[in-house]
Amino acid sequence: MIVLIQSWLVDLLDLLRTPFGALLFIPIYALWVTLLLPGVWASMLAGVLYGPWLGSAVVFFAACLGAEVVFLLGRHWLQGWVRQRLTQWPKLHAVEQAVNQEGLKLVLLTRLSPAFPFSLLNLAYGLSAVSLRDYSIGLIGILPGTVLFCGLGALAGDVARFNDVLAGEADGFTWGLRVMGVVATLAVVWLVGRAARQALDDGSGG
């Protein structure tokens, strides 16, 4: 049975390496994001299959597609379920409230910050008053992380080596992204705090 599964996986990876497979990878990745599953491993797999640059392009397009689907689901059809889910993530609920005032810059910063899970963030923005235009533009913020994980996947060259690569020494690019993520996280905290203070001031003034 194990041999059969391994053979099936090899055949699947061979299919995904073809031009048709690259097109097929896009809806698979988009569905992965829609189901709120973490995209790191899938992004690294794209790096193995297509290399760092083509892999990044495929993942970015697929992640944007999945993000738009999740955003629209949260905004139009799953509001009750999303609100219940976000009670487990107070910081995401705070972002959902603050983005009403801060708009695009908060969307961009949260995309750059590793402190906010990509899939759940899509749901939070679906509940907010952010426009679809600002939400879509803000997806540019996932590009650095996309390039990083596709590059790490290409460096690993094999799914079995993912853990080794992730646990290895970080290069300058990786460290730069980490610093950028910390700065973005601090900026998000400041913007959310400012929005909260403004909301309190407006309430007391009313």
The residue ranges of every structural domain in the chain are 2-205
The tens digit of pLDDT for each residue in 61-93 reads 999 999 998 888 878 877 777 677 666 666 666
The DSSP symbol for 36 reads T
The tens digit of pLDDT for each residue in 90-148 reads 666 677 667 766 677 778 887 877 777 787 788 878 877 788 888 898 898 888 888 88
**What residue has token string 């759940």?**
120
- Please give the model's pTM, rounded to 2 decimal places: 0.74
Using alpha carbons, select from 110, 94, 93 the residue that is nearest to residue 181: 110
